[in-house]
């Protein structure tokens, strides 16, 4: 099954938000508190789920804006343009 372009953008944004939230909250918790008892419970309930609720809307608003900004300063490769 192939996704449409819009579906692909939605799935991509959700997956990136999920992965970034998981990795960053895990790393910051280990760095700040170390490996403590109930680490995974603390990480899941106090960090990851909060981060996820922040990262998903951010991903859908900031990522398209940054893409437009980068597109403004990106030169089109002449070799790839149709002739």
Claim: this prediction has a pTM higher than 0.85: no
- Nearest Cα neighbor of 64 from 12, 21, 18 is 12
Residue 13 maps to a domain:
yes
Q: How confident is the model over 3-32, as pLDDT tens digits? A: 999 999 999 999 999 999 999 999 999 999
- Nearest Cα neighbor of 47 from 38, 10, 16 is 38
Boundaries of domain holding 13:
5-72
Residue 79 maps to a domain:
no
Residue 49 maps to a domain:
yes
Residue 81 maps to a domain:
no
Residue 62 maps to a domain:
yes
Residue 80 maps to a domain:
no
| Model pLDDT, residue 2 | 94
* Count of structural domains, the chain: 1
Residue 15 maps to a domain:
yes
């Amino acid at each position: 099954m192939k996704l449409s372009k819009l579906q692909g953008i939605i799935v991509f944004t959700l997956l990136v938000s999920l992965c970034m939230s998981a990795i960053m909250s895990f790393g910051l918790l280990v760095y700040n508190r170390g490996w403590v008892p109930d680490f995974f419970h603390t990480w899941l309930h106090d960090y990851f789920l909060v981060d996820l609720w922040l990262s998903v809307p951010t991903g859908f608003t900031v990522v398209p804006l940054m893409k437009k900004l980068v597109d403004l300063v990106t030169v089109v490769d002449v070799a790839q343009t149709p002739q």
